[in-house]
């Protein structure tokens, strides 16, 4: 007998590859101008497929079908002459492969050809996607189908491609870990290690090496858990050990807490029982967060990190409705609570030392779902991955440290938000950041509109992060007439509850999205259109009144506009 985890048994958990929008984590198709999050259409399509995979067709049949398929694909690629056209084409090729009603040999040959096409064009994310689809439709090893194109790209990739190979391989490795396919995780991790070595980026190698080494430790820990639970999974000890593993190393808290509530650790069992009651309201939620934070002090290593991350989870639950006094009591604790993503724990803040007097602090924004837009007219948006966003707008000092030349003749305080750069200028700034020592570990870009608004709201559903009334604007945002008709030094007023300053007022902030009306219906990791005539800006500025500064107001601006009330903050994601 063994614990049941959905349809998978603890003792012999068979992995059924499910390429879902959140789990698969595919990034960009071809690199769009702002390198925003990926379209999810194909990932969603893959996740809805059902049925058992077919046997691999005879090699002779595949060989016969391959030349015709390859010729058709090459003709299609030759006709796509712009990056946007290639993006659309490659997406449609994968969709067509998924829905083709041709013979098994033709479908198999087409999937191989599509995968090879992605390799040729330096698209590791899509190559892995094609491999995953191959494994869903045919009886091939799902992890080898994902690893093989990565290995091909390691051999031939340029540095930008190798960086994306590292990122894609690490994602695949984490997926294998979640599936408890540790041998496969180690093999995919080797691809990440090899790609990192070929970039000759010492900082990237320092980042990748311990992540890959973690797999062996996780494999050993899982073997220990199996040795305990295989004897008698119903004992309180077995429930404690397996429950902790689910929570700490997989992030499956609901399943883990159910076991921990019946474990032999009385304090932990009591905490688990409180959790399973799903407390509502800020006071019980803050209380539960503090209880996990205190429990973490009695633990070490990954368990301590997991308990603190759970404290952060409950602090965030309470955040929108907690009183200002109560929030102040826990706001420092929140910064000590890492964010859990599977078996990984990400720091709440990172600081980039751009130069003397030019440190840039970034705050982690958790994945989640919110209503984007004006109350009563919004649409549901889900952001599937956490990201970091600057706690302030970029200042003159921080611009100068990266670009060596200011966009204007500014002679004042270097802590004033930089202004006078058009959209192309701020894009050059994030591109320059990508070439620094942090570029191997992080991907820098402008925020999407959805990321900007989600961060601005900080869990609220009101017009402003503090409520619907604009009467408190002078405490949070520089707008006319209080701003004095000039850009201001950043971080002089109150932040929102994510610790972000000047989200409203001071500067209209450039985003990475072209401007157009929102499409109807729910959206997952949305971006603007591939091309348009204007870029979306958010947040209002020192020149505009408070009526122009709230969480949802947006406007479109020409990409070349360089006025003194346009600034920006950037985001990054860990590879």
Q: How many CB atoms lie within 10 A of CB 488?
A: 22
Structural contact between residues 336 and 290, judged by C-beta atoms closer than 8 angstroms = no
Q: In the β-sheet with 523-524, what is the strand arrangement from edge to edge?
A: 368-372, 379-383, 523-524
Segment 206-229 shows an average pLDDT of 96
Residue-level pLDDT at 82 = 72
pLDDT class of 32 with cuts at 50, 70, 90: very low
447 pLDDT above the threshold of 90: yes
Reduce the DSSP state of residue 473 to 3 states and report it. Answer: helix
pTM above 0.75, yes or no: yes
Question: If we measure between CA atoms, which residue out of 177, 266, 171 comes closest to residue 221?
Answer: 177
Please report, for residues 85, 156, 354, the alpha-carbon distance to residue 205 in angstroms, rounded to integers and kept in the order given.
35, 19, 21
Q: Which pLDDT belongs to residue 18?
A: 27
Q: What is the DSSP string of 196-213?
A: HHHHT-HHHHHHHHHHHH
Mean pLDDT of 542-559: 95
Interatomic CA distance for residues 318 and 516, integer angstroms? 34
Q: CA quadruple 102, 104, 109, 110: dihedral positive or negative?
A: positive
Domains detected in the chain: 4-224 (no CATH), 231-344 (no CATH), 349-574 (3.90.1580.10)
Long-range contacts of 293-302 (CB under 8 A, 24+ apart): 293/333, 293/336, 293/337, 295/267, 295/268, 295/271, 302/248, 302/249, 302/343, 302/345
Contacts of 341 (CB under 8 A, 6+ apart): 251, 386
Q: How buried is 446 (Cβ within 10 angstroms: 0-12 exposed, 13-18 middle, 19+ buried)?
A: buried
Beta carbons of 447 and 491 less than 8 angstroms apart: no
Instruction: Quote the tokens at residue 33.
Output: 């101008």
Nearest to 537 by CA among 461, 447, 432: 447
Distance (Å, whole) CA 91 – CA 89: 5
User: 429, 509 in Cβ contact below 8 A?
Assistant: no
Tens of pLDDT, residues 145-201? 999 999 999 998 899 999 999 999 999 999 999 999 999 999 999 999 999 999 999
CA neighbor of 288 nearest in space, from 237, 324, 322, 335 = 322
pLDDT value at residue 121: 85
**Across 20-37, average pLDDT:** 27
Q: In b/e form, how buried is each residue of 62-81, taking b as 16+ CB within 10 angstroms?
A: beebbeebbeebeeebeeee
Neighbouring C-beta atoms of residue 359, cutoff 10 Å: 13
pLDDT of residue 386: 97
What confidence score (pLDDT) does residue 456 get?
Answer: 98
């Amino acid at each position: 007998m063994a614990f049941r985890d959905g349809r998978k048994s603890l003792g012999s958990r068979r992995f059924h590859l499910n390429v879902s929008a959140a789990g698969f984590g595919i990034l960009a198709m071809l690199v769009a101008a702002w390198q925003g999050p990926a379209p999810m259409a194909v990932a969603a399509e893959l996740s809805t497929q059902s049925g058992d995979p077919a046997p691999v067709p005879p090699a002779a049949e595949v060989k016969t079908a391959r030349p015709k398929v390859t010729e058709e694909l090459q003709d299609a690629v030759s006709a796509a002459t712009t990056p946007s056209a290639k993006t659309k084409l490659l997406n449609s090729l994968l969709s067509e492969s998924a829905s083709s009603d041709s013979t098994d040999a033709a479908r198999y040959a087409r999937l191989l050809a599509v995968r090879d096409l992605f390799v040729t064009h330096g698209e590791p994310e899509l190559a892995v996607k094609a491999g995953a689809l191959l494994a869903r439709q045919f009886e091939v090893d799902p992890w080898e189908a994902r690893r093989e194109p990565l290995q091909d790209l390691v051999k031939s990739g340029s540095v930008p491609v190798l960086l994306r190979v590292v990122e894609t391989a690490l994602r695949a490795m984490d997926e294998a870990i979640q599936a408890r396919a540790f041998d496969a995780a180690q093999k995919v991790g080797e691809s990440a290690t090899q790609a990192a070595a070929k970039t000759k980026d010492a900082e990237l190698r320092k980042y990748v090496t311990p992540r890959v080494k973690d797999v062996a430790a996780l494999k050993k820990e899982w073997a220990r858990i199996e040795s305990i639970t295989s004897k008698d999974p119903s004992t309180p000890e077995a429930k404690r050990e397996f429950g902790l593993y689910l929570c700490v190393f997989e992030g499956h808290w609901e399943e883990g807490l159910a076991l921990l509530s019946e474990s032999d650790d009385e304090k932990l069992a009591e905490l688990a029982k409180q959790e399973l009651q799903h407390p509502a309201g800020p006071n019980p939620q803050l209380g539960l967060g503090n209880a996990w934070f205190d429990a973490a002090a009695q633990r070490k290593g990954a368990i301590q990190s997991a308990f603190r991350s759970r404290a952060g989870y409950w602090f965030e639950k309470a955040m929108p409705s907690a009183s200002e006094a109560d929030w102040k009591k826990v706001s420092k604790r929140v910064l000590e609570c890492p964010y859990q993503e599977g078996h990984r724990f990400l720091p709440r803040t990172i600081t980039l030392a751009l130069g003397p007097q030019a440190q840039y602090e970034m705050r982690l924004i958790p994945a989640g779902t919110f209503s984007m837009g004006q109350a009563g007219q919004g649409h549901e948006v889900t952001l599937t991955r956490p990201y970091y966003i600057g706690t302030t707008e970029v200042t003159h000092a921080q611009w100068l440290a990266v670009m060596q030349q200011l966009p204007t003749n500014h002679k004042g305080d270097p802590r004033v938000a930089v202004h006078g750069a058009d959209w192309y200028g701020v894009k050059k700034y994030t591109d320059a950041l990508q070439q620094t020592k942090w570029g191997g570990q992080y991907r820098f870009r402008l925020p999407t509109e959805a990321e900007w608004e989600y961060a601005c709201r900080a869990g609220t559903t009101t017009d402003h992060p503090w409520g619907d009334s604009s009467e408190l604007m002078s405490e949070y945002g520089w707008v006319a007439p209080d701003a004095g008709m000039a850009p201001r030094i950043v971080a002089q007023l109150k932040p929102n509850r994510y610790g972000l300053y000047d989200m409203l007022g001071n500067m209209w902030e450039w985003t990475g999205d072209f401007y157009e009306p929102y499409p109807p219906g729910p959206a997952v990791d949305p971006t603007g259109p591939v091309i348009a005539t204007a870029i979306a800006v958010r947040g209002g500025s020192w020149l505009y009144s408070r009526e122009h500064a709230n969480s949802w107001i947006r406007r479109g601006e020409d990409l070349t506009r360089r006025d003194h009330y346009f600034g920006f903050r950037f985001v990054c994601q860990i590879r």
